[in-house]
Chains A and B, each alone.
Chain A
C-alpha cells in the first residue's frame, strides 16, 4: 500500500518537473510513436522535421526566435497519444506534429484542438484528419488516399494502356481499403465494370497465407493485364507468395509499399509499380528531393527508409512559412495563412489548403517502377478528375 502511494506521488513529482522554456525560443512538439508498432512510420517524418528545424535555425530562426523541439512518446497507443500531446502542450508547444495515421494521431490532435493549437499529421491519408473530423486546427501533409487510388487508376489506364484489372485489397486498415475503393471508382469511369475481372480481399495480419486468394487470381482466363495490389504492413509477404505462385503480372500499389526494406523477400522483383511522395533512393526527378535525401543521410548516417520522410519536413516548412507571413505565432493568424496555401511549393510537392479542406487531393505522386529490385522513377502524375471527398 505504502509503496503504491509513494509511486503515485513520485509519478506526480516526475511529471510536474518544470518545462525548460527559453524566452527567445519557440517550441514545436512531437507527440509521436517513438516506440512500439507504429514507430517505423513516425521515425522518418520526425527525423526530417528535425532536419527542417535545423535548416530554419541555421537561417536565423523563425521571427528571430530559435525553434526548439520537445518529444513525447505515444507508445503506439491512441490513449497515450492524448497524454503525450498534453505533455508537449504543457511545455508550451506552439505547433505539434502527430502520428502518420488517423487512429493514432487523432487523439493527440483532439487535445491540441481543445487548446487551440495547430496539429499537423505527417502523413495520415484520411480526409477526416482536418476540419470535419478533428477541428479547424488539424492539418495533414499527406496526399489523400482517395487521390492515390484514382491516380493509379488513371495512370494505369491512360499511360500504361492496361485494359483489364484484378483488385486485391488488404482489409486490415482503412487506408488500403480506401485506396482500392477509389481506384475501382475511377477505373470504372475510365473503362467499364466488366474490365475488372475479379476482386478479392485479405487481412494483412490474420491471414498467415494468401493461397486461396492466389488460386482465385490464377483461375482467371485470360489473365488480367495487371493486379491492383492494396497492401500495407506485411505486403512483402503477399508479394512473395504471389510471385512464388508464378503470377508475373504487373502489380500496382500506393505509398504504403514504398521503401526497399521488404524487397529482400522477393529477389529481383520486377514489374512492380508504386506511387510515392518522392524517391528515398536519391534518383528523384526533382533535384530538391535528392538534396534532402543527401542532407538526411549526412545527419543521420542512413537515407530515409521511405518517401514519407518528406511529409515531416514539409510540416515544419509549411508552418514556418505561415508563421512568417502572419508575422506572429498566434494560432488563428497562422491558420488563416495556412488556409491560403495554393499550390505552395513545399519539399513534399505543391500543397493546397482551404478553410474546408486540410488535406491535399491534387498533389502529383511520383510513380516508380521496381526493376530487378531497384526503384526507377517514371513520372509525377495526378488524376485529372478529383474524387469526391467523403468523410
Chain B
C-alpha cells in the first residue's frame, strides 16, 4: 500500500517536470507551428548557468538562469527562426535541429562532454514524512511550479492584450496579422515565455540531478514534443496533461512491470502514444481551433 501511494507521488512529480516542458513546446507550436527541438538546449543552457553560479547566492543564480535562457530564446528566434518563419513546418523543424545541434556542440566545446557535478538547492532533497510515505520537497515544488506556470500563462493569454493577440495568432496567424496583430512581437513574447519555462525546468532539473551534461535536455524535449501532440495541438492544458500522463505512465510501468520487461518500458510507453493517436488523432483534448475546415 505504501509502495502504491509512493509510486503515485513519484508518478506525479516525474510527470510535472515533463508537463512544464510540454507547456513551453506547446505554446510555440500553437503560435507558429514550430516544433522547437532547441528547447532541449534552452534547458541545458539553464543548467550550465546554474552550474557556473553554484557557489553564488541561489536567488541570484536562479535569476541569472532565467535571464540567460530568455535572452538565448529571443536571440535564437531573431537569428534562426524569424528568417524562415513563413517556410513550411519541415524547414522550421530542421532549423530547430540545427539550432539544437549548434548549442549542444557549443556546450561540448566550452565545457567538454563529461558531466559536471554541482550542488544547488540541497534543501529540496529533504522530505516530508506522512505516515510511511515520503514526499520530497522537490516534488512539492515541482508540482507547485507547474500549476503556477499553467495558471500564469492562462491568465496572461486571457487578460493581457498580447496574450489575446497570441491566442488570435494561434487560431489563424494570417487573419490575426490582417487585424493588426504584430507578428514579430507575438512570436518574440512566445519565445520569451518558452524561455522562462525552460529556465524553471532547468532549476528543478538541476536541483534533482546536480549534474550538467550537454545532452541532458533531449529527453525532456522529446517527451514534451510527444505530450503536446497527444494532449491536443495548440491546447495548453492538454499539453500539460499530456506531459503528466507520459511521465506518470513511465513511472507506473517501472513500478508494476516484472524485472525482465522493465527494460522494455519505453516501448510500452510509446506504444500507448501510438494507440492514443489512433483513437484520438486530434489529441486527448482537442482544441476548437485545430479542426481542419474542408
Q: B210 and A200: CB pair below 8 A?
A: no
Q: Quick check: is A195 within 8 A (CB to CB) of the other chain? A: no
Q: Quick check: is B10 within 8 A (CB to CB) of the other chain? A: yes
Q: B113 and A212: CB pair below 8 A?
A: no
Which of the four size classes fits the interface of chain A? 35 or more
Q: Quick check: is A206 within 8 A (CB to CB) of the other chain? A: yes
CA distance A40 to B212 in the complex (A): 14
CA distance A205 to B115 in the complex (A): 12
Q: Quick check: is A190 within 8 A (CB to CB) of the other chain? A: no
Q: A200 and B259: CB pair below 8 A?
A: yes
Q: Quick check: is B147 within 8 A (CB to CB) of the other chain? A: no
Query: B residues 101-117 with Cβ under 8 Å of A?
Result: 108-109, 112-117
Q: Quick check: is B281 within 8 A (CB to CB) of the other chain? A: no
Q: How far is the CB of A375 from chain B (nearest CB, A)?
A: 14
Q: Quick check: is B159 within 8 A (CB to CB) of the other chain? A: no
Q: Quick check: is A16 within 8 A (CB to CB) of the other chain? A: no
Known: A236-B117, A265-B119, A265-B210. A205 touches B215 (CB 8 A): yes
Q: A35 and B108: CB pair below 8 A?
A: yes
Q: How far is the CB of A270 from chain B (nearest CB, A)?
A: 15
Q: Quick check: is A390 within 8 A (CB to CB) of the other chain? A: no
Q: B114 and A265: CB pair below 8 A?
A: no
CA distance A192 to B210 in the complex (A): 36
CA distance A262 to B212 in the complex (A): 9
Q: A236 and B210: CB pair below 8 A?
A: yes
CA distance A233 to B114 in the complex (A): 8
What is the total of A-B residue contacts with beta carbons within 8 Å? 128
Contacts of A355 in B (CB 8 A): none
* Contact for A262 among B7, B115, B125, B262, CB less than 8 A: B115
* Contact for A215 among B6, B108, B112, B119, CB less than 8 A: B6
Chain B CB count within 10 A is highest, among A37, A38, A212, A262, for: A212
Query: A residues 199-243 with Cβ under 8 Å of B?
Result: 199-201, 203, 205-209, 211-213, 215-216, 218-219, 233-234, 236-237, 240-241, 243
Contacts of B112 in A (CB 8 A): 39-40
CA distance A64 to B13 in the complex (A): 66
Chain A CB count within 10 A is highest, among B54, B139, B208, for: B208
Q: Quick check: is B57 within 8 A (CB to CB) of the other chain? A: no
Q: B117 and A266: CB pair below 8 A?
A: yes
Q: Quick check: is B227 within 8 A (CB to CB) of the other chain? A: no
Q: Quick check: is B213 within 8 A (CB to CB) of the other chain? A: yes
Interface string of A240-273 (1 = CB under 8 A from B): 1101111000000000000001111111000000
Q: B113 and A263: CB pair below 8 A?
A: no
Interface string of B1-40 (1 = CB under 8 A from A): 0110011001101100110000000000000000000000
CA distance A382 to B255 in the complex (A): 36
Tell me the count of chain B residues lying within 8 A, CB to CB, of chain A: 47
Q: B17 and A209: CB pair below 8 A?
A: yes
* Contact for A245 among B136, B218, B254, CB less than 8 A: B136
CA distance A201 to B208 in the complex (A): 19
Contacts of B114 in A (CB 8 A): 40, 261, 305
Contacts of A216 in B (CB 8 A): 3, 255
Interface string of B199-240 (1 = CB under 8 A from A): 000000100111101111011100000000000000000000
CA distance A216 to B252 in the complex (A): 12
Closest to A169 in B: B263
Q: Quick check: is B251 within 8 A (CB to CB) of the other chain? A: yes
CA distance A188 to B16 in the complex (A): 40
Q: B210 and A266: CB pair below 8 A?
A: yes
Contacts of A40 in B (CB 8 A): 112-114
Query: B residues 229-288 with Cβ under 8 Å of A?
Result: 251, 254-255, 259, 262-263, 266
Q: Chain B interface mostly helix, strand, loop or mixed?
A: helix
Contacts of A237 in B (CB 8 A): 115, 208-211
Q: B255 and A215: CB pair below 8 A?
A: yes
Contacts of B208 in A (CB 8 A): 209, 237, 240-241
Q: Quick check: is B122 within 8 A (CB to CB) of the other chain? A: yes
Q: A267 and B108: CB pair below 8 A?
A: no
Q: Quick check: is A121 within 8 A (CB to CB) of the other chain? A: no
Q: B210 and A240: CB pair below 8 A?
A: yes
Known: A37-B108, A219-B2, A265-B209. A245 touches B119 (CB 8 A): no
Q: B254 and A213: CB pair below 8 A?
A: yes
Q: Quick check: is B127 within 8 A (CB to CB) of the other chain? A: yes
Contacts of B109 in A (CB 8 A): 35
Closest to A259 in B: B114
Query: B residues 135-149 with Cβ under 8 Å of A?
Result: 136, 138-139
Q: How far is the CB of B96 from chain A (nearest CB, A)?
A: 20
CA distance A263 to B138 in the complex (A): 20
Known: A39-B113, A40-B113, A236-B115. A208 touches B205 (CB 8 A): yes
Q: B259 and A201: CB pair below 8 A?
A: yes
Q: How far is the CB of B281 from chain A (nearest CB, A)?
A: 26
Q: Quick check: is A285 within 8 A (CB to CB) of the other chain? A: no
Known: A200-B262, A211-B14. A261 touches B115 (CB 8 A): yes
Known: A37-B215, A211-B13, A212-B10. A244 touches B125 (CB 8 A): yes
* Contact for B213 among A199, A233, A240, A263, CB less than 8 A: A233
Contacts of B127 in A (CB 8 A): 245-246
Q: Quick check: is A279 within 8 A (CB to CB) of the other chain? A: no
Known: A237-B209, A266-B210. A36 touches B117 (CB 8 A): no
CA distance A212 to B257 in the complex (A): 12
Q: Quick check: is B134 within 8 A (CB to CB) of the other chain? A: yes
Ordered nearest first, which 6 A-B pairs have the shortest CB separation?
Answer: A265-B210, A244-B125, A265-B117, A237-B209, A40-B114, A211-B10
15 interchain pairs, CB-CB under 8 A: A37-B214, A37-B215, A208-B220, A212-B7, A215-B3, A216-B255, A219-B3, A234-B213, A236-B209, A237-B211, A244-B136, A246-B134, A261-B115, A262-B116, A305-B114
Chain B residues near A (Cβ < 8 Å): 2-3, 6-7, 10-11, 13-14, 17-18, 54, 108-109, 112-119, 122, 125, 127, 134, 136, 138-139, 205, 208-211, 213-216, 218-220, 251, 254-255, 259, 262-263, 266
* Other A-B pairs, 12, CB within 8 Å; known A212-B251, A218-B6: A201-B259, A215-B3, A234-B115, A234-B213, A236-B209, A241-B208, A244-B138, A245-B127, A245-B134, A262-B115, A262-B116, A264-B117
